[in-house]
Amino acid sequence: MSSFREKKQKAFSRGIWAERLAALALMLKGFRIMERRYKTRFGEIDLIARRGTLVLIVEVKARSSLQAAMDAVSHNNLQRIEAAADHWLARQPDRNKLHLRFDLIAVLPRRWPVHIPAATHFQN
């Protein structure tokens, strides 16, 4: 049986892999990855991607189903992500021209990542 530490390490590794796959999917859509694992005292953003003036604040979830990925983003998660996004945006010289959108990318077993634009609309 795996120890708690081994399980935690495996989950961390799976998350890093999922973020890499999600970043690749966004790059193939023409986005430039601005930040990976952007951490502030307010919260963390998995990916920040940009295409023109559109900036995606992306939460990446590796789960067994799309519904499980959507359910894994809580209201508290969104509040922390929004606070971190405000922090990032305040540091951008062209912030007045940028349009932010909060997206979810679900990394599912044996499937290409599912990109859900404006994921805050999927909250329960």
Q: Mind listing the pLDDT tens digit for each residue in 56-68?
A: 999 999 999 999 9
Domain 4-122 listed as CATH 1.10.150.530 = no
What is the reported pLDDT for 120? 65
In this predicted model, what pLDDT tens digit does every residue of 13-34 receive, in sequence order?
A: 888 999 999 999 999 999 999 9
What is the reported pLDDT for 124? 36
Structure tokens at 44: 């963390």
- Enter the pTM of the model: 0.89
